Amino acid sequence: MPEEHREAPDLESIFHPRGVAVVGASMKSGVGGNMFLDGFQAMGFSGDLYAVNLKAAEGSQIAGRPAYRTLADIPGPVDHVISSVPAPAVPGLVDEAAAKGARSIHLFTAGFRETGIGERAELEREVLRRARAGGIRLIGPNCMGLYCPESGLSFNTSFPLESGNVGVVAQSGGISRAIVGMGALRGLRFSRVVSFGNALDLDEADFYDYLAEQPDTAMVATYLEGAKDGPRTMRALRRLAARKPVVLLKGGETDAGSRAANSHTGVLAGSGRIWRAMARQTGVIMVDSVEDLCDQLSLLKAFPQGLTGARVAIAGSGGGVSVLEADACGRAGLDLPVLPDDIQERLREFTPVHGNSVRNPLDTFGIIDRENYVKTLRIASEADNIDVMILDTETDWGFRPQGRGDHLEATLGSIMEARRVVKKPIVIVVRDPLNPGAAQAWMDLQTRCVALGLPVFLGIEQAARALRRMVDWQQDRAR
Amino acid sequence: MPEEHREAPDLESIFHPRGVAVVGASMKSGVGGNMFLDGFQAMGFSGDLYAVNLKAAEGSQIAGRPAYRTLADIPGPVDHVISSVPAPAVPGLVDEAAAKGARSIHLFTAGFRETGIGERAELEREVLRRARAGGIRLIGPNCMGLYCPESGLSFNTSFPLESGNVGVVAQSGGISRAIVGMGALRGLRFSRVVSFGNALDLDEADFYDYLAEQPDTAMVATYLEGAKDGPRTMRALRRLAARKPVVLLKGGETDAGSRAANSHTGVLAGSGRIWRAMARQTGVIMVDSVEDLCDQLSLLKAFPQGLTGARVAIAGSGGGVSVLEADACGRAGLDLPVLPDDIQERLREFTPVHGNSVRNPLDTFGIIDRENYVKTLRIASEADNIDVMILDTETDWGFRPQGRGDHLEATLGSIMEARRVVKKPIVIVVRDPLNPGAAQAWMDLQTRCVALGLPVFLGIEQAARALRRMVDWQQDRAR
């Protein structure tokens, strides 16, 4: 349907249903559509939540919710229906939902166009015809649907309960789940998340337009495999990116990925080169992985005013590790300037001559020697050729039970004190554990730094790439 | 000194000293040269181990070892001396060591040429002159020295006690430590490890020649910043690579990295392009990070006969995650062929139509549905256009205390059964945890798979790059 003839969907209402019914809920716990019953309850959904199963006995419950045989049997209003019935039963369900007065159906049900089977594609079209006739908007099919902490919608029981300022528009439920999980580890919280699958009715463009206006959403992450209507998607992306930072992860950039995307959501994924050119034109930051995407969002969150440039100083352990970190920055296109002579002289006053560079990267005695560490960072950060300070950490102590807590607190103490006196952006690198016993220390250091509001990267390459992309994007926008 | 005039060092003896003295041991525990006293004892060093400190009282001990005021005071023989005295005291120590009959000195002491100070460079030359005069070979200065489980030498108390087949020749102690730690997590064990720092006397070429002949060493990892005598290093690398697989990590490839390397070991690091061309010519596998290096070694260890090619099948969770995994393989230059029609038909017989691709990547119901998972892998692996099976796992269950152990055992059970029936190489991908509580499960899954002898990668990109490098290297060698 051409854009001008479409009615703008009332997505804010769809994200705030009063009554929700999961149709095709299972008698077995934790399977199929029951994940929504569990997820909504874990999130404290405040509306009415019902389970529908043809075999439900009168007055029975499924997953702790009142169970009914059909939608029509439910006494209260139902705004939103979640379909977990087999694909051939969906057209009938759409009619029942319309009769019940529902505004929206989330089709968790898969097995439509993405199967590559002609009659399944026709079934999908029939679903759309009936939804249009019944005045119902569709999310999916073949998707995980909505996560909205504010209203208590969720497709996972472990998502954060608190709302945040990140919107997510993703064609894939698995990727949505990964973005929310990994993003939460990086300190991100979410306003509206949608996994929209085959995009039979509502598609990415609808959600982009919605999030462009949605007041709680300050930035948007999006995962796309393909667009039904490329130009429409581009226009919506451009409108969104003009208002808010947008980070795009494009699935199906390679031939193999494109084939996988076709199996997944039935799309013909476009060429990676075209999408990259488009991203640049529309002011979107394009990334290569979920980790990259979360890294980029955490940088945008930490520095909403942007960065003054891509010239970094690295404070780390020195030696070969610093050499490789300098290489990683160089490969990512970051500048690692030699500190000015006067700064070097001030550092040399208290830095022993052997084994300690004051040029950049900086050797820092060891992060737990707080006084010298913080003094080094303070002085180095005064260099007028440095935009960002990268603090490299390690958890090599983390496997020793006796020293774990002390070392963690000492490291965090140094970081906190550094943040107090350093007047430039700070990012933290937490390197992979070097000992099986250090896994918890590795995670604790991440989560504690994140709790301080600092962007954390699991490797200098990750930090360098995110910084470079951010500065490139700023420069593109400035033009 | 020209190559032909050098006496081949007896490195096997240097790695097996009868008596060792740490000179400049500290009265404080755990600092400076005491890490060698601690490390040797943790490794069960069977020779005589002494501490030397000018202030040692007669009959006293340091770090649990007999302490003497000077080397001359030690009653037994001392083959190997570890210097932890300040740089200006080293020339005198060399003379004392010669008088005591030592064969080798490991100069943990730093503060020589790498400082960029002329008189420190002259001091370094004086040390070399005296060592030559006294018939003593030097390791370092500015390095961590030797790790050899067989004889009990170590510079760290947490290194594996067991010997293995990997030799390491590294200019940096921090990188040596990272290779041993991360490598051990990947199931690697080590035969001989040396961190040689400024390479004043013994250098990488000496160690390459030694390891080429050393019978316990099946492969060699090396970290270099620069070479004193490039052609000599190249010749030794070529000789070594003709006998055993060699993985090279070159520090200082970029301008910033080169500057850092100069601060670190006083070398002028060469251009990355030259080294890459050289690596290819000499049959060396070149990598970009310690993680890459350990990944490559674990692949070489798992498949000593090599791979039949770079055509992979991915068995994973399906959906967008599989799309991105296919892209990652495509970007790394791996082939991800569509499975032959007959294989697809056999898979389709028991694979539900919706949401499950049988083309490649494969959706696999979930790894803990063992029967279907293993059946899928067995059939797919029979495809004659597939060389390697990549098994993608996750630890999304890992944060739930009640389900953690069950899920881990179920996942491992499926992997073990798959390995039994799949007649092609299998590699495991363990993705980053998506929940702070999953860190231990993430580590447990890694270590358990490694204990099964499987190569484990912390991301599909890592696996794809390592596979591509291995096949490229095989093809270069075949020419």
Per-residue pLDDT of B409-433, as tens digits, reads 999 999 999 999 999 999 999 999 9
Would you state the structure tokens that stand for residue B68, as one six-digit string? Answer: 């003497």
Say yes or no for a CB contact (<8 Å) between A175 and B321.
yes
What is the spatial distance between Cα A382 and Cα B375, in angstroms, rounded to a whole number?
A: 62
CB B37 within 8 Å of CB B29:
no
For an interface test with B, which of A188, A311, A324, A339 has the most B Cβ atoms less than 10 Å from its Cβ?
A: A324
Q: What is the pLDDT of residues A198-233, one digit of tens each?
A: 999 999 999 999 999 999 999 999 999 988 888 899
Q: Where does residue A479 rank: exposed (0-12), middle (13-18), buried (19+ CB within 10 A)?
A: exposed
- Which strands, in side-by-side order, build the sheet including B362-363? B362-363, B312-316, B388-393, B426-430, B456-457
Which chain A residues are within 8 Å of B248, Cβ to Cβ? Answer: none
Interface membership of B121 toward A (CB under 8 Å)? no
Interface membership of A440 toward B (CB under 8 Å)? yes
Say yes or no for a CB contact (<8 Å) between A359 and B263.
yes
Tokens 């476009």 identify what position? A270
**B104 has pLDDT over 80:** yes
Nearest-CA residue of chain B relative to A335? B256
Tokens 């003295």 identify what position? B21
What is the spatial distance between Cα B179 and Cα B186, in angstroms, rounded to a whole number?
A: 10
CB B167 within 8 Å of CB B211:
yes
Which chain A residues are within 8 Å of B330, Cβ to Cβ? Answer: 253-257
Say yes or no for a CB contact (<8 Å) between A260 and B111.
no
Interface membership of A451 toward B (CB under 8 Å)? no
**A4 has pLDDT over 50:** no
Give the model's confidence band at B30: pLDDT under 50 very low, under 70 low, under 90 confident, else very high.
Answer: confident
Phi, psi of B257 (to 5 degrees): -70, -35
Query: Mean pLDDT, chain A, as a whole number?
Result: 92
CB A186 within 8 Å of CB A451:
no
Q: Strand A456-457 to strand B19-23: parallel, antiparallel, or no bridges (unpaired)?
A: unpaired
Selected residue with higher pLDDT from B258 and B346: B346
Residues 399-428 of B with CB under 8 A from A: 399-400
CB B89 within 8 Å of CB B128:
no
- Read off the pLDDT of each residue in B319-346 and give the average, rounded to a whole number: 94
Nearest CA-CA distance, residue A115 and chain B, Å: 6
What is the spatial distance between Cα A18 and Cα B239, in angstroms, rounded to a whole number?
A: 75
pLDDT value for B269: 58
**A325 has pLDDT over 70:** yes
ipTM topping 0.95: no
Give the model's confidence band at B5: pLDDT under 50 very low, under 70 low, under 90 confident, else very high.
Answer: very low
Interface membership of A72 toward B (CB under 8 Å)? no
Least confident interval from A40-54, B80-94, B232-246, B339-353 = B339-353
Q: Of B114, B184, B327, which has the smallest distance from its Cβ to A251's Cβ?
A: B327
Nearest CA-CA distance, residue B130 and chain A, Å: 22
pLDDT value for B448: 96
Nearest CA-CA distance, residue B252 and chain A, Å: 6
Q: What is the pLDDT of residues B220-256, one digit of tens each?
A: 999 999 888 888 999 999 999 999 999 999 999 888 8
Selected residue with higher pLDDT from B133 and B479: B133
Three-state secondary structure along chain B? CCHHHCCCCCHHHHCCCCEEEEECCCCCCCCCCHHHHHHHHHHCCCCEEEEECCCCCCCCEECCEEEECCHHHCCCCCCEEEECCCHHHHHHHHHHHHHHCCCEEEECCCCCHHHCCHHHHHHHHHHHHHHHHHCCEEECCCCCEEEECCCCECCCCCCCCCEEEEEEEECCHHHHHHHHHHHHHCCCCEEEEEECCCCCCCCHHHHHHHHHHCCCCCEEEEEECCCCCHHHHHHHHHHHHHHCCEEEEECCCCHHHHHHHHHHHCCCCCCHHHHHHHHHHHCCEEECCHHHHHHHHHHHHHCCCCCCCCEEEEEECCHHHHHHHHHHHHHHCCECCCCCHHHHHHHHCCCCCCCCCCCCCEECCCCCCHHHHHHHHHHHHCCCCCCEEEEEECCCCCCCHHHHHHHHHHHHHHHHHHHHHCCCCEEEEECCCCCHHHHHHHHHHHHHHHHCCCCEECCHHHHHHHHHHHHHHHHHHHC
Say yes or no for a CB contact (<8 Å) between B320 and A223.
yes
Q: Of A264, A324, A353, which has the smallest distance from its Cβ to B289's Cβ?
A: A324
**A1 has pLDDT over 60:** no
Q: What is the pLDDT of residues A248-298, one digit of tens each?
A: 999 998 888 888 887 776 665 566 778 888 888 899 999 999 999 999 999
**B385 has pLDDT over 70:** yes
CB B253 within 8 Å of CB B269:
yes
Least confident interval from A32-36, A114-118, A166-170, B443-447 = A114-118
Which H helix or E strand runs over A426?
strand A426-430
Interface membership of A172 toward B (CB under 8 Å)? yes
pLDDT value for B401: 67
Say yes or no for a CB contact (<8 Å) between B181 and A434.
yes
Which chain A residues are within 8 Å of B436, Cβ to Cβ? Answer: 185, 443, 446-447
Say yes or no for a CB contact (<8 Å) between A223 and B433.
no
Which chain A residues are within 8 Å of B177, Cβ to Cβ? Answer: 396, 434
Interface membership of B458 toward A (CB under 8 Å)? yes
Q: What is the pLDDT of residues A47-94, one digit of tens each?
A: 999 999 999 999 999 999 999 999 999 999 999 999 999 999 999 999
Interface membership of B117 toward A (CB under 8 Å)? yes
pLDDT value for B394: 84
Say yes or no for a CB contact (<8 Å) between B264 and A357.
yes
Say yes or no for a CB contact (<8 Å) between A434 and B177.
yes
Nearest CA-CA distance, residue A137 and chain B, Å: 22
What is the spatial distance between Cα A44 and Cα A154, in angstroms, rounded to a whole number?
A: 10
Q: What is the pLDDT of residues A416-469, one digit of tens each?
A: 999 999 999 999 999 999 988 899 999 999 999 999 999 999 999 999 999 999
Say yes or no for a CB contact (<8 Å) between A252 and B182.
no
What is the spatial distance between Cα A107 and Cα A120, in angstroms, rounded to a whole number?
A: 14
Say yes or no for a CB contact (<8 Å) between A260 and B323.
yes
Nearest to B256 by CA among A390, A361, A427: A361
What is the spatial distance between Cα A97 and Cα A47, in angstroms, rounded to a whole number?
A: 18
Q: What is the pLDDT of residues A357-407, one digit of tens each?
A: 788 999 876 777 899 999 999 999 999 999 999 999 988 777 776 667 788
Give the model's confidence band at B4: pLDDT under 50 very low, under 70 low, under 90 confident, else very high.
Answer: very low
Would you state the structure tokens that stand for residue A460, as one six-digit string? Answer: 């200098």
Kindly state the percentage of chain B with pLDDT values over 90: 76
Say yes or no for a CB contact (<8 Å) between A354 and B114.
yes
CB A220 within 8 Å of CB A240:
yes
Nearest-CA residue of chain A relative to B160? A435
